[in-house]
Structure 1
Amino acid sequence: MDVSGSVGSPSRGRVVAWALWDWGSAAFNAVIVTFVFTVYLTDAVAADEESGSQALGIALAVAGVFIALLAPVTGQRSDAGGRRRLWLGVHTGLVVACTAGLFFVRDDPSYLLPGLVLIAAGSVFFEIAEVNYNAMLVQVSTRATIGRVSGFGWGMGYFGGLVALTIVLFAFVQPDVGLFGVTSEDGLNIRVVALFAALWFALFALPVLLLVPEAPPSGESARGSFLSGYAVLARRLRDMWRTDRRTLLFLVASAVYRDGLAAIFTFGGVVAAGTFGFSATEVVIFAIAANLTAGTGAVLGGRLDDRFGPKRVIVAALAGLILVGGALVVLPGKAAFWACGLLLATFVGPAQSSSRTFFARIVAPEREGEAFGLYATTGRAVSFLGPLAFSGFIAVFGTQRAGMAGIALVLLAGLAAVLPIRPPGSEEGEQQDEAEEKSHP
């Protein structure tokens, strides 16, 4: 795939180096947070699946609050100081350290709290790292190639997760005696997976840190207290409300439903094991299939996006997710989870990819860098909603299955928020944008 594009565009080597970070990050997202280690925490470390799932939801909700408070301003300051790559390296290193620390979490309830703290802290550091990573997209692409480069990175993430999960399955999870003589005694086979994930991420994060140059400072001062950054952020949001309201409304709406999308993958493996009786091996096999269907859905959704527009794809994907998620709440048996789970994964890809293209089509060209950075940060600003809804519904109804209904409710709220937003390219939308600009020069 030619991702470097036109003459004068960044080299293919830098594009591949940038995308390899996404490949490596799948070890934390897919292996640790989604399909392997969180399942181990709730299924083997916790006293029971319901209490473990509820505790996991609370831990990730707390992490989401920290992400919402820290990510926007840390990203803003790294741009201002020209230290985007530096902070990407620092926070990636902290994620690797938290991941490696999970090796010491044994299959005993007394280790649940340390495990949850490491997962939550790693999630915070990962999201802050990803702010800088996403902002580097404009450094490795041009306006003509940004879609291809972004899609290439997204695909590398899915494929990296597939490969990492396959290695984990056949080297550690499935065999009675795995690689290096590892067995399941004292949870060692899953604990070693944490070391593998840490090494995988560290290895594939190196190219972007070595080959992609540091971004120049944005021209704004990075001095002053950390808290002063919130005043700058407030002024930018106020100006956006006055002159670019459609962009701001889409940022809010997409932040809600994107958190629901993230929650599907975060808690999918947990529900598979706790409610539908999947073994650790079956969970990983399902994860591999889900990565394949999500990637396929993203590719097909991109073609539909070009033909029908991004908003129609987003609305259709969210409606499909809500309907299938609702069915999963009531349907019994592993076969139902396989069918509904793979359908959910198929809808997730188009929703994610079309959200990015919707935003790209309504952003003013002279503000792309700032806008994509804001898109990355606001996507996590409400990242406590999905975990909170999942754990809250479990607390209210007393079953893990009810947590899926909580996630469906978050998706429904996101769908309701995005429906009134004018799609890019609409005549009505362009006329109203012009009117807003004239009324607030």
Structure 2
Amino acid sequence: MSRVRTALLPSSGSAVRQQHGGGGRQFAWALFDWANSPFTTLIITFVFPAYFATAIVGDEVRGQAIWGYAIGTSGLVVAVLSPLLGAIADVGGRRKPWIMGFTALCIVATALLWFASPSVASVPFAVACVAIANLGFEFGTTFNNAMLPDIVRKDRLGRLSGWAWGLGYAGGLATLALALVVFVQPAIPPFGLDREQAEQVRIVGPLVAIWFGIFAWPLFVFTPDRPGRSLAVGAAIREGLRTLRNMLKDLRAGRQLPLFLLAHMLYADGLATLFAFGGIYVSGTFGMSLAEVIVFGVVLNVAAGLGAFLFGWVDDWIGSRRTAVLALVGLTLASVAAVSVQTRPWLWVAGCFLGLFVGPVQAASRSLMARLSPPDQQAAYFGLFALSGKSTAFVGPVVVAVVTDAAGSQRLGLATIIAFLIAGLILLQASGGKDV
């Protein structure tokens, strides 16, 4: 990555201190996406959900419903606390201690999934570990996102965000391939893993935890943080609450940012629901084995990484909002195809287009938030960004769970995400204003 001029923003005020260089710090920041993406790929989307539904619960439909309630509950907690924690972080200045703490929480809870044996008795333990790990992942991502405007020029926000997202999908691809080739497919798994106890699948928990720990550390070593302030915990909370109240007042006075956040709330719910149920859907509706689900995930990750990387230039060229609108149109059409097709070959085609547009939607949303957020309140605004992505995060999974239960159909249950995508697209287009 080329060396560019970067801005280090102080913890408060509008003054900006410019520094030259930054290729290494930007790569270290982007590498965090490579580090944490295997969690969403293996634990939230493809491998562990399918194992949870088929082996732990023993009923794909019931397993999908329980999974939906678990992911939805953890998303609600993230939605409630993210803006406040972001405001407190803005007051304190530093981001990396928050990222480190929540990353450690995610790593520990993910590693413990090794003990989720293929028995219905493991359901409460597995649900608790996944919910706690998801909390750590989501909070850590919020504070990592808030670092983006500090380390790159505004005219390169789209590229860095897109490249980082593409790198994240590459990380998901690498771990999916590793899990498939080394652990799942061999008739005799390595390290004496017992197939009777599904240890060749349960090993993905420790695998993701180790990966996350190894590749997250460059962020803490090479990417600079904002200067910290010595504040007592009580004082930081009080000042953070005051900052949050003032921010919400300012937010009500505008139009573009509130509409964007509302749009993001809807289409992010659709995306999160798609990620949470993708593996369960293809395994149950199309009869894919776990190994086939992993291969399907590999292909989607390749397409998503390519889309995020290429659309990074589009973002800086036509603007983040237009890029997100374009990607949402493609994603909606691909989603309609995915829940309509009846044969595996057409599912693969629909899945490739899903992947191609998923990455750009996420990357352009992050860069749009970075462009719109005030320099001295970025963590708080990214907290609102997380809130908009999680405030209704429980709705999508619950709607899928309810419709799946009522109709007895995974296809009809997953089709509900299309409504979220369309509603988000309409509001994003309506946000208008000067594109950024």
Q: Same fold (TM over 0.5)?
A: yes
1:186-228 Cα shifts (integer Å, max 9, x gaps) = 1110111211111111111122123334422479986348588
Deviation at 1:150, TM superposition (A): 2.5
Q: State which of 383, 388, 397 in structure 2 corresponds to 1:378.
A: 388
Amino acid at match of 2:145: N
- Per the alignment, residue 278 of structure 1 pairs with 288
Cα distance change on mapping 1:168 and 1:209 into 2, 3 Å: same
2:62 paired with 1:62: no
Partners of 2:99 and 2:305 lie apart in 1 by: 26
Shift of 1:372: 4.5
Q: Distance in 2 between matches of 1:138 and 1:221?
A: 27
Kindly report which structure 2 residues correspond to 1:14-413, keeping only aligned pairs within 5 A, or say none.
14-217=25-228, 223-224=234-235, 229-230=240-241, 232-242=243-253, 244-305=254-315, 309-362=319-372, 371-372=381-382, 374-413=384-423
Describe the superposition over 1:232-271 as per-residue Cα deviations: whole angstroms up to 9, x where unpaired: 42331122211x2211221121122122123222221111
* Equivalent-residue separation in structure 2 for 1:204 and 1:28 (angstroms): 13
Q: What is the CA–CA distance in structure 2 between the aligned matches of 1:399 and 1:3, rounded to whole Å? A: 52
Identify which range, 186-195 or 323-332, moves more after superposition. Answer: 323-332
Root-mean-square deviation over aligned CA pairs: 2.7
- Give CA deviations for 1:320-366 in whole Å, capped at 9, x if unaligned: 33333233333222223212122111121222233334445555677
Which amino acid letter does the alignment assign opposite residue 27 of structure 1?
Answer: P
Residues 94 and 279 (structure 1), Cα distance of their counterparts in 2 relative to 1, 3 Å cut? same
The residue that corresponds to 1:438 in the other structure is none
Identity %: 36
Residues 221/4 of structure 1: CA separation in 2 closer, same or farther (3 Å cut): farther
Counterpart secondary structure, 2:431: coil
CA displacement at 1:284 relative to structure 2: 0.9
Partner Cα separation in structure 2 for residue 361 and residue 74 of structure 1: 21
Question: 1:434 maps to what in 2?
Answer: none
Check 1:195–1:150 CA distance in 2 against 1; reply closer, same or farther (3 A cut): same
2:2 alignment counterpart:
2
Instruction: Give the Cα–Cα distance (whole angstroms) in 1 for the partners of residues 370 and 139 of structure 2.
Output: 22
Deviation per residue, 1:347-396 (Å, 9 max, x gap): 21222233334445555677666545543443333322322222122123
Q: CA deviation at 1:102?
A: 0.3
Total equivalences in the alignment? 425
Q: Tell me how far apart the structure 2 counterparts of residues 106 and 314 of structure 1 sit (CA, whole Å).
A: 41
* Contact 2:322–2:435, Cα closer than 8 Å, also in 1: no
**Quick check: 1:305–1:354 contact (8 Å CA) kept in 2?**
yes
| Range with bigger deviation, 351-360 or 81-90 | 351-360
Cα distance change on mapping 1:370 and 1:58 into 2, 3 Å:
closer
- In 1, the alpha carbon distance for the partners of 2:50 and 2:339 equals 19
8 Å CA contact retained: 1:80, 1:219: no
Does the aligned pair in 2 maintain the 1:135–1:369 contact within 8 Å? yes
Per-residue deviation, 1:289: 0.8
Q: Distance in 2 between matches of 1:120 and 1:321?
A: 27
SS in 2 for 1:350: helix
Post-superposition offset of 1:183: 4.0
TM-score, structure 1 as length reference? 0.88
Are 1:253 and 1:414, in contact at CA under 8 Å, matched by a contact in 2? yes
2:256/2:432 contact within 8 Å kept: yes
| 8 Å contact kept, 1:45–1:106 | yes
Report the residue type matching 2:365 in the other structure.
Answer: S
Helix, strand or coil at the partner of 2:305: helix
| Secondary structure in 2 matching 1:420 | helix
d(CA) in 1 for partners of 2:85, 2:372: 25
Q: Residue 323 and residue 11 in structure 1: after superposition, are their counterparts in 2 closer, same or farther (change >3 A)?
A: closer
Question: 2-side partners of 1:362 and 1:89: how far apart?
Answer: 26
What is the letter of the counterpart of residue 2 of structure 2?
A: D
Query: Kindly tell me: are residues 370 and 109 of structure 1, through their superposed partners in 2, closer, same or farther at Cα, counting changes over 3 Å?
Result: closer
Pair 1:150–1:298, CA change in 2 (3 A): closer
> Residue 348 of structure 1 aligns to which amino acid in structure 2?
V
Aligned to 1:421: 431
8 Å contact from structure 2 (residues 41, 176) kept in 1: yes
**Cα distance in structure 2, aligned partners of 1:307 and 1:146:** 11
Question: 8 Å contact 2:259–2:430 — kept in the other structure?
Answer: no
* Comparing 44-53 and 223-232, the one that deviates more: 223-232
Larger RCO (CA under 8 A, 6+ residues apart): 2
181 and 381 in structure 1: CA distance in 2 versus 1, 3 angstrom threshold? same
Do the aligned partners of residues 314 and 85 (structure 1) sit closer, same or farther apart at CA in structure 2, a change above 3 Å counting? closer
Aligned equivalent of 2:10: none
Whole-Å separation in 1 of the counterparts to 2:105 and 2:376: 34
Looking at structure 2, the residues matched to 188 and 282 of structure 1 have their Cα atoms a distance apart, in angstroms, of 18
Could you tell me whether the CA contact under 8 Å between 1:27 and 1:198 is conserved in 2? no
Report the Cα distance in structure 2 between the residues aligned to 1:136 and 1:357, rounded to whole angstroms: 11
Letter in 1 for 2:307: G
Matched position secondary structure for 1:26: helix
Closer, same or farther in 2 for the Cα pair 1:332/1:3, shift >3 Å? farther
One-letter amino acid matched to 1:413 = A
Amino acid aligned to 1:251: L
**Would you say the 8 A contact 1:4–1:145 is kept in 2?**
no
Separation (CA, whole Å) in 2 of partners of 1:213 and 1:364: 19
Residue deviations 1:301-337 (CA, integer Å, cap 9, x gap): 3455456554444334323333332333332222232
